[in-house]
């Protein structure tokens, strides 16, 4: 049975349909799924927003956004099929009594309803109340929740509880868009479809792992929102921990949501706590100052539009994370992420252990260890650095470090680059939760992150400044240099 045959007709209800996420990501993703014939013919897309619009006006907005945000040449037939599915419903999402109007728009009584919450999390509870008030919740319905799910463990519990009053855990799809990225998904294949890595993926073979998620952008007009969060809540608690959990988890028995989520949860729970006793030694927080990016002068965080002077919010974090389990004992995972770094560049570097003995001393005194680099974005690919003999008739054996490079652009030239939201939207339509974060995992991630944030607050130190366009504060270099290692630049 192909995916589409297994997919029941659904009403895809997007709350916040005119918001930024919907316009940039969700509507273009639906267009792409439509183009691939991956949406059931009977399914409809119901846009819900505060503003008054006629259906024709809504269709015009959708068309405009798809033309703006889909990179490929638009296929007018596909667009026509998608717009034929559209319905618009104006709604005050905080007013439970107004949801009876939505009920009128949702006519397909036997359809699965997919409620996509693309609104601030503060109103997820109101939306659930409204849906319940209008008897719009059935056991087969699904709800999709965007991050941030809370600001800390307690607030995440409040949001999860509000939704859990009406939806069971198997109906809830918590998005972390990194899980929809092709290269992140490929971690499963790399680890569990290649015996070379399956058998060498532990403390016996691996010295340490680096995960870098660098962005060149700054705060992009959302200073107030970002200042409440900071890089720890915005990136580490979710995206970097998701990458870490896929790298660190035990092999799942199969690809089912139950198996994958259970193993990821165990990995997050195995993270050694970082608290007031060891935070200085294990973490570095930074904040970008004025600097240059590609030769252009850019303002520091405190000089951005809307900035409040004196903010101690971090825009950079480096952490030495460790897992307390059999596989990873003694193997640090160095995490590093920041805004206004020299380039948008995300990669994982797995450093294997040194050879125990060097028989090539005459030509190479210090044999470098093998390194596996997984380039997440851009220039997606996998690269393995290894030693090789330089061909030639010299008496001594000349060797050098070379790389095997699997560039996805070169290897899969005919393949379109798929956006994470296309994958995630498809999985929701097909009712597969494996690429979504369970409540237990969100809570385990908050527990670990909260302890670090608490320790930072207790020290009350300002984050270390770094020039915009640099790789972060100098102390992030010391964090890893103390262990006689260095970041791969």
Name which position in 11, 111, 141, 215 contacts ligand BG6 (CB under 6 A). 215
Place of tokens 């984050």: 463
Please tell me what DSSP assigns to residue 270.
T
**Catalytic pick from 151, 239, 345, 351?**
239
Alpha carbons 217 and 296: distance in angstroms, whole number: 13
User: Which residue's Cβ has the minimum distance to ligand BG6?
Assistant: 234
Alpha carbons 339 and 345: distance in angstroms, whole number: 11
Q: Is 234 in the site for ligand BG6 (CB under 6 A)?
A: yes
Q: Is 239 a catalytic residue?
A: yes
Residues 403-442 interacting with ligand BG6 (rule: CB under 6 A): none
Q: Are strands 399-407 and 464-467 parallel, antiparallel or unpaired?
A: unpaired
Please state the length of the chain. 489
Cβ neighbours for 375, distance < 8 A, ≥ 6 positions apart: 183, 346, 347, 381, 382, 383
- Nearer CB in complex with ligand BG6: 234/322: 234
Work out how close the CB of 234 gets to ligand BG6 at its nearest, in angstroms, rounded to a whole number: 5
Cβ neighbours for 414, distance < 8 A, ≥ 6 positions apart: none
Work out how close the CB of 196 gets to ligand BG6 at its nearest, in angstroms, rounded to a whole number: 28
Q: How many residues bind ligand BG6 (CB under 6 A)?
A: 2
Backbone angles phi, psi at 460, to 5 degrees: 55, 25
Work out how close the CB of 253 gets to ligand BG6 at its nearest, in angstroms, rounded to a whole number: 30
Backbone angles phi, psi at 146, to 5 degrees: -90, 155
- Nearer CB in complex with ligand BG6: 11/234: 234
Residue 291 near residue 467 (C-beta atoms within 8 A): yes
- Nearer CB in complex with ligand BG6: 131/240: 240
DSSP H or E run through 183: helix 182-192
Work out how close the CB of 228 gets to ligand BG6 at its nearest, in angstroms, rounded to a whole number: 12
In terms of Cα–Cα distance, which of 84, 71, 90 is closest to 32? 71
- Nearer CB in complex with ligand BG6: 184/323: 184
Work out how close the CB of 238 gets to ligand BG6 at its nearest, in angstroms, rounded to a whole number: 7
- Nearer CB in complex with ligand BG6: 215/441: 215
Catalytic residue set: 239
State the residues that interact with ligand BG6 by CB under 6 A. 215, 234
């Amino acid at each position: 049975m192909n995916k589409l045959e297994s997919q029941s007709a659904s009403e895809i209800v997007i709350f916040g349909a005119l918001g930024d996420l919907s316009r940039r990501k969700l509507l273009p993703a639906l267009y792409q799924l439509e183009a691939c014939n991956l949406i059931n013919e009977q399914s409809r897309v119901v846009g819900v927003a505060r503003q008054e619009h006629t259906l024709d006006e809504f269709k015009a907005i959708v068309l405009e956004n798809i033309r703006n945000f889909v990179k490929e040449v638009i296929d007018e037939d596909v667009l026509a099929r998608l717009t034929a599915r559209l319905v618009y419903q104006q709604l005050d999402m905080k007013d439970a009594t107004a949801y009876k109007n939505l009920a009128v728009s949702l006519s397909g009584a036997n359809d699965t309803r997919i409620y996509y919450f693309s609104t601030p999390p503060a109103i997820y509870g109101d939306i659930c109340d409204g849906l319940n008030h209008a008897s719009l919740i059935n056991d087969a319905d699904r709800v999709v929740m965007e991050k941030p799910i809370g600001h800390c463990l307690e607030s995440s519990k409040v949001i999860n509880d509000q939704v859990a009053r009406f939806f069971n855990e198997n109906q809830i799809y918590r998005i972390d868009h990194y899980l929809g990225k092709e290269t992140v998904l490929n971690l499963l294949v790399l680890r569990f479809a290649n015996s070379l890595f399956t058998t060498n993926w532990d403390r016996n073979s691996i010295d340490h792992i680096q995960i870098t998620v660098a962005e060149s952008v700054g705060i992009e007009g959302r200073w107030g929102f970002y200042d409440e969060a900071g890089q720890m809540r915005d990136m580490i608690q979710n995206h970097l921990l998701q990458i870490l959990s896929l790298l660190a988890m035990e092999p799942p028995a199969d690809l089912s949501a139950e198996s994958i989520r259970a193993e990821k949860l165990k990995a997050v729970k195995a993270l050694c706590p970082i608290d007031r006793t060891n935070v200085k030694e294990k973490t570095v927080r930074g904040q970008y100052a004025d600097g240059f990016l590609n030769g252009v002068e850019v303002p520091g965080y405190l000089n951005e539009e809307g900035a409040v002077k004196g903010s101690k919010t971090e825009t950079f974090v480096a952490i030495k994370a460790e897992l307390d389990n059999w596989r990873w004992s003694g193997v640090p995972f160095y995490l590093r992420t920041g805004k206004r770094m020299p380039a948008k560049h995300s990669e994982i570097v797995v450093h294997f252990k040194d050879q125990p003995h060097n028989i090539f001393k005459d030509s190479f005194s210090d044999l470098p260890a093998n390194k596996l680099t997984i380039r997440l974005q851009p220039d997606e690919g996998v690269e393995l650095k290894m030693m090789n003999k330089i061909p030639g008739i010299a008496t001594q054996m000349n060797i050098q470090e070379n790389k095997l490079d699997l560039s996805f652009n070169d290897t899969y030239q005919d393949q379109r680059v798929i956006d994470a939201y296309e994958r995630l939207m498809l999985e929701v339509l097909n009712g597969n939760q494996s690429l979504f974060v369970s409540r237990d995992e969100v809570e385990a991630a908050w527990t670990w992150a909260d302890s670090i944030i608490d320790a930072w607050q207790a020290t009350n130190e300002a984050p270390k400044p770094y020039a915009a366009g640099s790789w972060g504060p100098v102390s992030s270099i010391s964090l890893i240099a103390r262990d006689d290692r260095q970041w791969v630049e």
